[in-house]
Amino acid sequence: MMNGEDFISGKLILINKEKEWSSFDVVNKIRGAIKKKFSIKKIKVGHAGTLDPLATGLLILCTGKMTKKIDNLSILGKKYLGTMTLGATTPSYDCETDIDNTYSTSHITEKLVKSNVNNFIGVTAQKPPIYSAIKIDGKRLYKYARAGEKIKIKSRKIEIFDFKIVKIKMPNIDFEISCSKGTYIRSIANDFGKSLNSGAYLSKLKRTEIGVFKINNASTVNEFIEKYLN
């Protein structure tokens, strides 16, 4: 059984984040539970790579002195399982916002989808979604978006290591993707739709791996608290 000193000395915690939780919600919940359980006034807790609230899956948390390792963990490659829905787009590139445009999918074949995947593998420049937590001039992009303000977003270099189509059941495409730090899978979905002369948005996403760390070894927030902090 872990004690307060263990968390202060530094622990790496694998969390299976559930839908609707923000990454900061997870950090705050775990930090609060540690402080309450061991009567600790202050302890550092951080995460090594954000997951959007609508996404699920692996989130690495670090406590105490282990937070010094966050930058090293954040640069590790990630693997995801996702679903993109063809024939429509949304401003956020996922289900956070309503559909703004619809497109024909009658010309899209399984062969076209699978052959198109190869165009995304490798190093490329990606423009992050306007609905993201990236800061420009001290303000997060999603705040510009929600205020209806225009802002110039610079492209960033990313790398797609592997991209596989798992299942096609139109208009939905299930896929698995391995990529570098800073890759927005929502943007991949949006760009993929454009490349098919149609539209697409991300309708489901689960992070399964971060470097050598795997979702199978992770616990939900409540499972972790029940096991170690109750």
Residue 69 is part of a domain; what is its CATH number? 3.30.2350.10
Does one domain contain both 105 and 190? yes
Contact present, 7 and 63 (Cβ < 8 Å): yes
Confidence of residue 142 (pLDDT cuts 50, 70, 90): confident
User: Which residue stretches of the chain are H helix?
Assistant: 4-9, 23-38, 70-74, 110-116, 141-146, 185-195, 221-228
Distance CA 161, CA 188 (A): 13
Residue 122 lies in a domain: yes
What is the total count of domains within the chain? Answer: 2
Question: Residue 174 belongs to what domain range?
Answer: 78-129+155-210
User: Is 143 contained in some domain?
Assistant: no
Is position 144 within any domain?
Answer: no
Taking 90 as the threshold, does the pLDDT of residue 177 lie above it? yes
117 & 32 share domain:
no
In a domain, 93, yes or no: yes
Q: Is 98 a catalytic residue?
A: no
**Residue of 6, 52, 137, 174 marked active site:** 52
Residue 177 and residue 110 in one domain: yes
Q: What is the mean pLDDT of residues 204-224?
A: 98
pTM beyond 0.85: the answer is: yes
In sequence order, what are the beta bridge partners of 3? none
